[in-house]
């Protein structure tokens, strides 16, 4: 068989605020199989934008877990902490063109607005030092067709408001960094958790503003508790045990709607991944998923 060549470039972009858990394994696996099944590249990017929220040792632990589970990434891993100059350049440009502005509102002042910034500083002309920088959003609805979730639509003005691209403490926001890095790395396909579905219209707008291509999107099923509630951020699922790669990969495959052979129970992690590459069918991925408590681990 000749090696397939493909223009597909996918990525897994963990935040080192903690260890990998079952949900991250599902995201890593889906992005990996979606890329490898078409002969594409798969990159790992460490989203270490927020040192105060970083758990010491998490970066090493994440990479070790990926290796223990048989994942192989292409090229050098990229760290967002090495990309500040690129973010600063774009941010300054947006600011200098009046597309972004400085906001000095306190958290307390904004409490009453339910998370949608009411534009208080839009025309204030504040200095950018010691202020958050917000991107002006248009009074427009953005929509896209997600490969699993279908059509998704969001009105940026009414549902999001002008959003922060650099925090007051100088840290760059996820929305800006992710768009610049996905473009810089040539990512064609984004496969990630459904919790980021509602960030996508902001990212589409940034791409449009900066003249960048829109990647294709696949948002994985939202994992709900048996009572139908979304898994809360406060829910601490345990770290992936390194000696359970095969059973947890099989469980993750099933969560993604794939039907791995029972013979794989005794296989290595590598064999499970190879089976996944050969049999991957993204059309089988369910839109939502209720996991019995026992499967969360
Ligand atoms: N770093 C984000 C996370 O860990 C993922 C970002 C993305 O895939 O766009 O939730
Ligand atoms: Zn403000």
CB within 5 A of ion ligand 2: which residues?
Answer: 103, 105, 120-121
Answer whether residue 264 is part of any domain. yes
Answer whether residue 95 is part of any domain. yes
What's the CATH code of the domain at 23? 3.40.50.620
Tell me how many helices (H) and strands (E) the chain has: 8, 12
The answer on 190 and 66 residing in a single domain is: yes
Structure token digits, residue 128? 């950018």
User: Which candidate, 1, 21, 19, places its Cα nearest to that of 251?
Assistant: 21
Residue 238 has pLDDT above 90, yes or no: no
Answer whether residue 3 is part of any domain. no
pLDDT value of position 289: 84
Answer whether residue 240 is part of any domain. yes
Which residue range is the domain that position 283 belongs to? 9-82+184-296
Given 178, 206, 240, which residue is the final one in a domain?
A: 178
Q: Which ligand 1 atom sits closest to the C-alpha of 24?
A: 4
Strand order in the sheet with 100-103: 100-103, 132-135, 163-166
Query: How far is ligand 1, taken at its centre, from the CA of residue 75, in Å?
Result: 19
Query: How far is ligand 2, taken at its centre, from the CA of residue 131, in Å?
Result: 9
Instruction: Give the residue-averaged pLDDT of 163-169.
Output: 97
Please state whether 125 falls in left (phi above 0), alpha (psi between -120 and 50) or beta: left
Q: What confidence tier does 28 reach under pLDDT thresholds 50, 70, 90?
A: very high
The answer on 173 and 196 residing in a single domain is: no
Residue 133 in contact with residue 103, Cβ under 8 Å?
A: yes
The answer on 192 and 73 residing in a single domain is: yes
The answer on 127 and 105 residing in a single domain is: yes
Answer whether residue 4 is part of any domain. no
Query: How far is ligand 2, taken at its centre, from the CA of residue 206, in Å?
Result: 20
The answer on 201 and 140 residing in a single domain is: no
What pTM does this model have?
Answer: 0.94
The answer on 240 and 128 residing in a single domain is: no
Q: What is the pLDDT of residues 248-275, one digit of tens each?
A: 999 999 999 999 999 999 999 999 999 9
**DSSP state at residue 290:** E
What is the sign, positive or negative, of the torsion defined by CA atoms of 66, 68, 74, 80?
A: positive
The 10 Å CB-count burial string (b at 16+, else e) for 114-131 is eeebebebeeeeeebeeb
Answer whether residue 280 is part of any domain. yes
Structure token digits, residue 239? 């770290």
The answer on 97 and 75 residing in a single domain is: no
Ligand having the closest approach to the CA of 191: 1
The answer on 89 and 202 residing in a single domain is: no
Domain count, the chain: 2
Query: How far is ligand 1, taken at its centre, from the CA of residue 203, in Å?
Result: 13
Q: What is the pLDDT of residues 183-225, one digit of tens each?
A: 999 999 999 999 999 999 999 999 999 999 999 999 999 777 7
Mutate-to-test residue for ligand 1 from 83, 174, 184, 215, highest number of ligand atoms within 8 A of CB:
174
Q: What is the pLDDT of residues 105-156, one digit of tens each?
A: 999 999 999 899 999 999 999 999 999 999 999 999 999 999 999 999 999 9
The answer on 143 and 155 residing in a single domain is: yes
Query: How far is ligand 2, taken at its centre, from the CA of residue 98, in Å?
Result: 15
Judging by DSSP bridges, how do beta strands 288-290 and 222-224 pair with one another? parallel
The helix (run of H) or strand (run of E) holding residue 41 is strand 41-46
Q: DSSP letters of 132-200?
A: EEEE---S-EEEEEETTTEEEEEEIIIIIBSEEEE-TTSPBPHHHHHHHHHHHTT--EEEE-GGGGGGH
- Ligand 1, residues at Cβ distance < 6 Å: 13-15, 47, 178, 192, 196
Q: How far is CA 259 from the centre of its chain?
A: 25
Residue ID of nearest Cα to ligand 1 atom 5? 13
The rounded distance, in Å, linking the Cα atoms of 253 and 276 is 8
Answer whether residue 241 is part of any domain. yes
The answer on 167 and 98 residing in a single domain is: yes
Given 133, 150, 178, which residue is the final one in a domain?
A: 178
The answer on 228 and 211 residing in a single domain is: yes
Given 149, 178, 207, which residue is the final one in a domain?
A: 178
User: Within 19-173, where are the H helices?
Assistant: 22-36, 58-68, 84-96, 107-110
Distances (CA, A) of 147 to 10, 13, 27, 287: 14, 19, 14, 10
pLDDT value of position 274: 98
Answer whether residue 58 is part of any domain. yes
């Amino acid at each position: 068989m000749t090696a397939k060549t493909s223009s597909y470039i996918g990525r897994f972009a963990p935040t080192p605020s903690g260890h990998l858990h079952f949900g991250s394994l599902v995201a890593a696996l889906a992005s990996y199989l979606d890329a490898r099944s078409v002969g594409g590249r798969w990159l790992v990017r460490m989203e270490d934008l927020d040192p105060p929220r970083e758990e010491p040792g998490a970066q090493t632990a994440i990479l070790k877990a990926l290796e223990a589970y048989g994942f192989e990434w292409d090229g050098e891993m990229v760290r967002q902490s090495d990309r500040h100059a690129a973010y600063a350049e774009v941010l300054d440009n947006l600011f200098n063109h009046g597309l972004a502005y400085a906001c000095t509102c306190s958290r307390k002042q904004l409490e009453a607005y339910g998370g949608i910034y009411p534009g208080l500083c839009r025309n204030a002309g504040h200095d950018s030092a010691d202020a958050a920088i917000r991107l002006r959003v248009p009074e427009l609805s953005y929509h896209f067709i997600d490969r699993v979730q279908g059509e998704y639509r969001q009105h940026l003005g009414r549902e999001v408001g002008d959003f922060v691209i650099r925090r007051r403490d100088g840290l760059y926001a996820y929305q800006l960094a992710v768009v610049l890095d996905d473009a810089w790395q040539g990512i064609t396909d984004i496969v990630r958790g459904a919790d980021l579905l509602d960030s996508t219209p902001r990212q589409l707008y940034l791409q449009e503003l900066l003249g960048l291509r829109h990647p294709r999107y696949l948002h994985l099923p939202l994992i709900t508790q048996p009572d139908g509630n979304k898994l809360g951020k406060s829910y601490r699922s345990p770290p992936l045990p390194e000696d359970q790669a095969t059973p947890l990969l099989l469980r993750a495959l099933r969560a993604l709607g794939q039907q791995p052979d029972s013979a794989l129970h005794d296989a290595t992690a590598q064999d499970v991944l190879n089976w996944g590459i050969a049999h991957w069918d993204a059309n089988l991925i369910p839109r939502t998923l209720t996991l019995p408590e026992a499967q969360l681990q």
